[in-house]
Amino acid sequence: MTTLTSTDPRTGTVTETGIGLTDEAEVSRIAERAASAVRQIADRGRGWRSELLRAMARETEAGRELLVATAAAETGLTEARLNTELTRCVLQFELFADAVDEGSFLEAMIDHSTVTPLGPAPDIRRILRSIGPVAIFGSSNFPFAFSVLGGDTAAAVAAGSPVILKAHGSHPLTSRNSFDALLRAARSVEAPEGVLSIVYGQRTGAQLVAEPAVKAVGFTGSLEVGRLLADIAARRPEPIPFYGELSSINPVVITADALAGRADTLPEDAAASVAGSGGQLCTKPGVVFVPAGIAGEEFVARFAAAVAGAAPHAALSARVLDLFDEARGRMRDRPGTTGIEEASAEERGGSWFSSSVLRVDAADLTPETIEEAFGPFAVVVTYDSEEQLLSALTMVPPSLTATLHLGAGEHARHDELIRTLTDRSGRVVFDGFPTGVRVSWAQHHGGPWPSTNSIHSSVGVTSMRRFLTPVAYQNAPTEVLPTELHDDHTGIPRRIDGILQLAAAEETS
């Protein structure tokens, strides 16, 4: 049997994992078993789902030591970062458990029968239900938070969908250990078979997306692979939604006033956001716009030095390093682009980044100058005027985030700039940096193409909506309805005859 290997990118050491590739027949069996779990999950109700999510939080926490050590060896990310990421997963499972208990996500609505100018209108009751089994593709750069233990898993389980995980090839042992933790959680609440499954091997991905029993796909990864899988999803006999988080440049714009006011911290703070986790975050600033002139030059010099001076970091894999070197090479070769302050990769085996910054004048910027590249690296663009800045910004692809550093009270003078950044991103950050995504109710992790292909978020409570679809009941006997649609149910917020009503407990608080 072919088994997967695991490579420590810090040393290049290859380990046999003993994990076999999931064969085609097994993938189909897994998908069908997942389909058969949909009803059983629905029958257990919301309370059980939140118990399962809390058990997932508990078992993730219980597995911390092994999980972090395994992930460190497979990704080259630091234990500090991995511990934070694991904590995020624990809190994320708990947040979704809270959201399941709260019940708003069901969007329960009741329109009682009435007489309208069109005649008698029947009783209509609407609620959201699971879309069915969901295939989830983890990404290499978040071995926990966008992988087996990640937000898509939490959101799908919260939605009542069976989850089939496609393990990422760059961290198979982390995936397996993570999945073991989830299985312990599932067993602790006597979950039916098929609630959680995992498949291994690159080929399983395309098959999963094509499996008839799979009804939606959550994907975090490259634009190229995402587009390929999206095409498979669209061409199926039964097309299914494909939710892709695909690519993001995350422009950061610094105004002259902002630079004047915070020259002492901005270069180093920006560099920390660029170089943190080896610059391998979807929200890493890939381009920073600063005003031309003395202050701008000083920013460029200090920013470049800080990026180059960041602690050496291994790439997630040899492939990530290759892609990085190629992309940077192409960008460096564009007319008008200059490479500065390059820190050479250390010669210590494994896949280590050389960090650096490129610079270009806004006048020389073209759509080709800026590519997404995972690594401790950014392009600095100097601009002469707001007009030139606005024009340059249209050459940056729409992104998950856009960031603006303003002077105090300066926003009124930059209306057009703020609107441009808002139109071209899913999250606008003021006077901060886009890395470090808060997982909460209001978070939105999404954005216009090519950052995603979705009108939904892939982070935060609202990401559940991707895996839910409505059903309406017309003149149904009470006994047939989900509990939450009974007239006397007061446990969740609902809209009754067009009026939003809070849950009973909330009303009295």
**Pick 333 or 497: Cβ nearer a second copy:** 497
| Two structure tokens written together for 333 | 């070769």
**What's the closest the beta carbon of residue 24 comes to a second copy, in angstroms?**
24
Do 350 and 76 meet the contact criterion of CB atoms below 8 Å apart?
A: yes
**What's the closest the beta carbon of residue 170 comes to a second copy, in angstroms?**
24
**Pick 19 or 131: Cβ nearer a second copy:** 131
**What's the closest the beta carbon of residue 74 comes to a second copy, in angstroms?**
22
Task: Single out the residue of 25, 115, 294, 499 in contact with a second copy (rule: CB under 8 A).
Answer: 499
Determine the Cα–Cα distance for residues 132 and 148; give it in Å rounded to an integer.
18
Q: Does the protein bind a second copy through residue 294 (CB under 8 A)?
A: no
Do 76 and 134 meet the contact criterion of CB atoms below 8 Å apart?
A: no
Determine the Cα–Cα distance for residues 332 and 337; give it in Å rounded to an integer.
6
**Pick 332 or 465: Cβ nearer a second copy:** 465
Could you tell me which stretch among 125-133, 166-174, 250-258, 313-321 binds a second copy (CB under 8 A)? Answer: 125-133
**What's the closest the beta carbon of residue 411 comes to a second copy, in angstroms?**
5
User: What is the pattern of x (binds a second copy, CB under 8 A) and - over residues 208-247?
Assistant: ----------------------xx--xx--xxxx------
CA-to-CA dists, residue 414 to 3, 99, 296, 387, 417, angstroms: 56, 38, 19, 11, 5
**What's the closest the beta carbon of residue 91 comes to a second copy, in angstroms?**
7
Do 285 and 272 meet the contact criterion of CB atoms below 8 Å apart?
A: no
**Pick 13 or 474: Cβ nearer a second copy:** 474
Task: Single out the residue of 80, 260, 311, 455 in contact with a second copy (rule: CB under 8 A).
Answer: 455
Determine the Cα–Cα distance for residues 267 and 253; give it in Å rounded to an integer.
12
Q: Which of 59, 85, 89, 282 is catalytic?
A: 282
| Two structure tokens written together for 268 | 């180093």
Q: What is the 3-state secondary structure (H, E, C) of 443-475?
A: CCCCCCCCCECCCCCCCCHHHHHHHEEEEEEEC
**Pick 133 or 375: Cβ nearer a second copy:** 133
**What's the closest the beta carbon of residue 35 comes to a second copy, in angstroms?**
11
Task: Single out the residue of 40, 188, 222, 469 in contact with a second copy (rule: CB under 8 A).
Answer: 469
Task: Single out the residue of 18, 47, 122, 293 in contact with a second copy (rule: CB under 8 A).
Answer: 122
**Pick 113 or 202: Cβ nearer a second copy:** 113
Q: What are the residues whose beta carbons fall under 8 Å from the beta carbon of 430, sequence distance 6 or more?
A: 403, 404, 405, 406
Instruction: Tell which positions 421-450 bind a second copy, by CB under 8 A.
Output: 422-423, 425-432, 434, 438, 440-444, 446, 449-450
Task: Single out the residue of 27, 41, 106, 131 in contact with a second copy (rule: CB under 8 A).
Answer: 131
Q: Which of 74, 102, 245, 372 is catalytic?
A: 245
Task: Single out the residue of 181, 370, 418, 464 in contact with a second copy (rule: CB under 8 A).
Answer: 418
**Pick 21 or 124: Cβ nearer a second copy:** 124
Determine the Cα–Cα distance for residues 146 and 174; give it in Å rounded to an integer.
12
Q: Does the protein bind a second copy through residue 462 (CB under 8 A)?
A: yes
| Two structure tokens written together for 129 | 């239900």
Do 391 and 371 meet the contact criterion of CB atoms below 8 Å apart?
A: no
Q: Does the protein bind a second copy through residue 395 (CB under 8 A)?
A: no
Q: Where are the alpha helices (DSSP H) in 76-150?
A: 79-102
Q: Does the protein bind a second copy through residue 62 (CB under 8 A)?
A: no
**What's the closest the beta carbon of residue 499 comes to a second copy, in angstroms?**
7
- Long-range CB contacts (within 8 A, 24+) of 447-450: 447/248, 447/398, 447/399, 447/400, 447/401, 448/398, 448/423, 448/424, 449/398, 450/223, 450/246, 450/247, 450/397, 450/398
Determine the Cα–Cα distance for residues 286 and 355; give it in Å rounded to an integer.
13
Determine the Cα–Cα distance for residues 313 and 275; give it in Å rounded to an integer.
9
The b-or-e profile of 18-53 (16+ CB within 10 A means b, else e) is: ebebbbeeebeebbebbbebbeebeebebebbbbbb
Q: Does the protein bind a second copy through residue 457 (CB under 8 A)?
A: yes
**Pick 131 or 323: Cβ nearer a second copy:** 131
Respond yes or no: is residue 282 known to be catalytic.
yes
Q: Does the protein bind a second copy through residue 124 (CB under 8 A)?
A: yes
Instruction: Tell which positions 79-98 bind a second copy, by CB under 8 A.
Output: 84, 87-88, 91, 98
Respond yes or no: is residue 89 known to be catalytic.
no
Residue located via tokens 């950052």: 451
User: What is the pattern of x (binds a second copy, CB under 8 A) and - over residues 301-330?
Assistant: ------------------------------
Do 5 and 16 meet the contact criterion of CB atoms below 8 Å apart?
A: yes
**Pick 18 or 122: Cβ nearer a second copy:** 122
Determine the Cα–Cα distance for residues 274 and 291; give it in Å rounded to an integer.
19
| Residues designated catalytic | 245, 282
